[in-house]
Amino acid sequence: MSLDREQKEGAELLLMGNEAIARGALEAGVRVAAGYPGTPSSEIIETLSRFSEAGKLYVEWSTNEKVAMEVAAAASFAGLRSLCVMKQNGVNVASDFLLHLTGSGTRGGMVLVTCDDPGALSSVNEGESRHFARLMEIPLLEPSDFREAKEMTRWAFTLSEAIRNVVMVRSVTRMSHASGNVVLGALPEIAGKAAFCCDGPVSDPDCGPVISTPVVAKHRLQQEKLRGATTLFEESPFNAYEGPEDPELLIITSSVCTLYSREALSLLRAEGRTGILKLGTTWPVPPALLKKRLASAKKVLIVEEVLPFLEDQVKILAAEQAHEIGIKEFYGKNDGTLPMVGELNPDLVAAAVGRILGIDPPSVPAEYREKLTALTALVPKREQTFCPGCPHRASFWGIREALQRDHRGGFVCGDIGCYAMASLFPAAGFHTAKTLHSMGSGTGIASGFGKLGPFGMEQPVLAVCGDSTFYHAAIPALINAVHHRADITFIALDNSGTAMTGFQSHPGLEVNAMGEAAPMVDIAALCRAIGAPVVVGDPFALTETRETLNRLLEEPGVKVLILKQSCALSPGKKGKKTFLVRVDETLCRGDACGCNRLCTRIFRCPGLLWNRDRKKAEIDEVICAGCGFCAGICPAGAIRNEEAAKS
C-alpha cells in the first residue's frame, strides 16, 4: 500500500522502508526535498513528490547529489526543514559540500538520508556512508525496523535544529526495500515563510552569513554540539537492550542486523545466554550506555555489515574503560568471525554465535536438502542482460562492430547506468566497455586515455554515458577533454530518462519530479557550445551508427555521437510494439546456416529463443518488445518485421 494524502493519523499501514522514511519527513513538516536517483534510495523522493504542493513542499530530482544537498541546505538556511536523499556513493559526490556545510552549520532542520547497498545488490560498489558521519562529525541514526525508520527520520529534524547541523539517517537495501507495519502520526500544519537572514555578524548563528569560517571557532562549536547530541543518545529510545542482565555473550548491533541477530538467537535457542544491545544512534555511540552493557559480559560480538564501524568505536570505548569494566573478548570483523564484505543474514550470524557459544546451529533435515537441490535444478539459469527492445543492446552492437572493424584495439570507458552491463558479460555481443567506475568517470578516464597518443597508445578511446549521467558528472570531464584536445569519441546513450532507477526526471526532459512542465536542457546544444562536433543518430539504425563511428574514430579531438532512442520500458513505449517480429522457418536454416546461432548465442536478446526440437530460432512473442533490430543481424534474413497495428 502506498502513502497518500487521505490516510489519517493512527492508521496502520504496510509501508516500504523508504515510504516510512518519507512519512517521517512529512510528519516533521519537511518543506524542501532534493535527491538524485539511486537504488535503493529512489522511492523516498518519489513518495514525497506525490505530496508536493506549491509553498508547502517542494521536491526535486537534482542533477547530482552535491547539488541536491546544496538545494536542501538553502532551504535550511532560509529556516525551512529540508531533506536530501541519495545512495551510498552519492555521499561521496556530495561530500565536498558536506564538509563545508557541517563547518558552517544549518538553521532549519536538515536531514541527509543515505541508503547503503551492502553486497552491492544494485550497485557496482558496497561503499559505506556511515564513515562520513565520523569524518564530518555529525550524528548518525540507523533504523532497525520500519516503525523506527519513520520515527527516527522525524526526530532527526528535531535533533538537527538542536545541534544546528546536518543529521544523517542511514538505511540499507533490506530496510529501504522491505516492508512492515507503520502507524501514521499527524501531519503538521505547514507554516512559516522562507527568509534568509544574513546581515548579522558572522558569529550569529541565526542572522550571520552562513560560512565555515572562522574555521577553528566554528569547528569547536560543532564539536560541542555533537557532544550535546551524544548526551541525548544516552537516553534515546532508539537504543535498547534485550536479554539477561549478565549474558554470556553480548551482541552489539544496529540496523537490520538487529533482526538478523534476534533470529539467530532464536534459531540457536540462545536467548537466555545472549543479550542484544541494539543501537539506533551509531555515531557517536553513547559511552555510558556502552560501559554499562560491556561491564555485564565477558564476550562481545559486534554484528554489522561490511566494515567494522561500530566495532572500532566499541573497542576504543572498551579500551578507555578497561580499568573499570575489565578486559573483554571481542568477536567481529577483525578476527574473522563475520565477513567484512557482502550482506549478513540470520544464518551467518547464527553460525558466528554458535561458534562462540559452542552451539551447533540446527541442521537442515536431509530430506529438505534433497528437495531443495531437486527444485533448484528446475530454475532456469538467467543472466543479467539488456531487456528486449533495449536501445543499449543495439548501441553496443553498433559500437562493437565499429571497433572490431577499426581493428586498433579500441575500447569503451563505461559508466553508471543499465549500460554498465556492456562491461560485465564477455560472451555477449554488447561487451565493449573495459572500465567502469563512478558516475561520469568514463568520460574523465577517456579524457586521460585520449592524451596518451604521444606515449605510443594507438587504440581509439570511446566513452559512453547515459543522459542522466551526462548532467550528473560527465559535463566537466567532457569540457576537460575538449579543452585539452583529448582524442576521444564520446557517445551519449540518450534513452530519455533515468531508466535504471525507474524513469525519474532529469534536465533533459520537459517535466520535473513534481510532474510540472520544465525547460529541457539539450545535450546536443550543450556539447556544441563546449566546442565538440555532434552527430545525432538512432541506435536502431545499425549501418549508420557503425559507419558514423568508424568515421569519427579516424578523426582527432573530441567527437560527440548522441544515440537517441527511448528505453523499451519507458511509459511511452512499454507494451507498444513497433514491429511484429517473427522467424520465417523456411529461411532460418538453423545449425546448417553457418551463422552459429548469432541471434541467440551472441546477440542474446531475451526475446529470441533457440528451439531445441526444431533446431531453429524463434521469437518469444510475449516478451519481444518489437523493436525489430534483430531482423538486421540475421544473415539469412529469416527474422522478419511486420508493421504492428497501431493501438
Partner 1 sequence: MQERVAEPAGQRNGQGGQKELEEQVLRTGLCTGCGACVNLCPYQAIYQDRTVLLHPCDLAQGRCYDFCPRTPTDRDALRRNFQEAADCTPELGAVKGFFITRAADGNLRCRAQHGGSVTALMALALREGLIDAAVLVEEGEGLLPRSVTVTDPNEAGERGRSRLVVSPTVAEFNRIVRGDAAKIGVVATPCQAIAFAKMRALPLSESNAGIEKLRLVVGLFCGWALSWRKLAPLLKKKTDIARVIGMDIPPSRYHTLEVYTSGETIRVSLDEIDPCVREACRSCDDMTAEFSDLSVGSARLPEGWETARGWNQVIVRTKQGMDLLELARRRGVLEFREAPPGNLEKLKAASLGKKRAAERFFGRDVADEETTQAG
Provide the binding-site residues for partner 1, judged by CB under 8 A. 381, 383, 400-401, 404-407, 429, 550, 591-598, 600-602, 610, 612, 633, 635
CB of 429 to partner 1, least distance (A): 6
CB of 557 to partner 1, least distance (A): 18
CB of 412 to partner 1, least distance (A): 16
Could you tell me the three cell numbers for 44? 523516498
CB of 598 to partner 1, least distance (A): 5
Looking at beta carbons only, is 422 or 481 nearer to partner 1? 422
Output DSSP code: residue 592. G
Could you tell me the three cell numbers for 424? 560485465
CB of 377 to partner 1, least distance (A): 14
Which strands, in side-by-side order, build the sheet including 240-242?
240-242, 274-279, 249-254, 299-303, 329-331
Q: Which residues contact 252 (CB under 8 A, 6 or more apart)?
A: 277, 279, 290, 293, 300, 301, 302, 303, 310, 314
Could you tell me the three cell numbers for 379? 530454475
Looking at beta carbons only, is 405 or 483 nearer to partner 1? 405
Looking at beta carbons only, is 120 or 593 nearer to partner 1? 593
CB of 495 to partner 1, least distance (A): 24
217: nearest Cα among 197, 201, 203, 198 = 203
CB of 401 to partner 1, least distance (A): 6
Question: Residue 163 carries which side chain, given as an amino acid letter?
Answer: I
Spatial distance between the Cα atoms of 181 and 410, rounded to a whole number of angstroms? 53
User: Which strand (E) or helix (H) includes residue 313?
Assistant: helix 309-325
Helix axes 17-27, 146-163, angle to 10 degrees: 40
CB of 124 to partner 1, least distance (A): 24
CB atoms near residue 507 (< 10 Å): 20
CB 578, CB 628: distance < 8 Å: yes
**In 3-state terms, the chain is what percent helix, strand and coil (to 5)?**
40, 20, 45
CB of 372 to partner 1, least distance (A): 21
Looking at beta carbons only, is 493 or 633 nearer to partner 1? 633
Could you tell me the three cell numbers for 149? 525508520
Spatial distance between the Cα atoms of 430 and 438, rounded to a whole number of angstroms? 20
CB of 407 to partner 1, least distance (A): 5
CB 313, CB 266: distance < 8 Å: no
Compute φ and ψ for 58, nearest 5 degrees: -105, 130
Looking at beta carbons only, is 570 or 600 nearer to partner 1? 600
Looking at beta carbons only, is 266 or 384 nearer to partner 1? 384
CA distances from 461 to 458, 492, 535, 607 (A): 9, 14, 17, 32
Looking at beta carbons only, is 10 or 426 nearer to partner 1? 426
CA distances from 142 to 27, 169, 282, 285 (A): 18, 6, 7, 12
Looking at beta carbons only, is 142 or 401 nearer to partner 1? 401
CB of 27 to partner 1, least distance (A): 50
Looking at beta carbons only, is 163 or 402 nearer to partner 1? 402
CB 414, CB 434: distance < 8 Å: yes
Judging by beta carbons within 10 Å of its beta carbon (0-12, 13-18, 19+), is residue 538 exposed, middle or buried? middle
Looking at beta carbons only, is 592 or 622 nearer to partner 1? 592
Looking at beta carbons only, is 486 or 633 nearer to partner 1? 633
Looking at beta carbons only, is 288 or 593 nearer to partner 1? 593
Strand ranges, E, within 353-422: 411-413
CB 635, CB 581: distance < 8 Å: no
**DSSP string spanning 441-473?**
HHHHHHHHHTT-GGGT--S-EEEEEEHHHIIII
CB of 508 to partner 1, least distance (A): 32
Looking at beta carbons only, is 356 or 634 nearer to partner 1? 634
Could you tell me the three cell numbers for 101? 556545510
CB of 569 to partner 1, least distance (A): 24
**DSSP string spanning 253-301?**
EETTHHHHHHHHHHHHT-TTTEEEEEESEEES--HHHHHHHHHT-SEEE
CB 603, CB 400: distance < 8 Å: no
Spatial distance between the Cα atoms of 46 and 379, rounded to a whole number of angstroms? 34
CB 91, CB 42: distance < 8 Å: no
Looking at beta carbons only, is 519 or 594 nearer to partner 1? 594
Looking at beta carbons only, is 364 or 427 nearer to partner 1? 427
CB 226, CB 288: distance < 8 Å: no
CB of 408 to partner 1, least distance (A): 9
Looking at beta carbons only, is 145 or 401 nearer to partner 1? 401
CB of 640 to partner 1, least distance (A): 17
CA angle 288/291/296 to nearest 5° reads: 135
Spatial distance between the Cα atoms of 452 and 84, rounded to a whole number of angstroms? 40
CB 36, CB 62: distance < 8 Å: yes
CB of 108 to partner 1, least distance (A): 55
Compute φ and ψ for 642, nearest 5 degrees: -115, 140
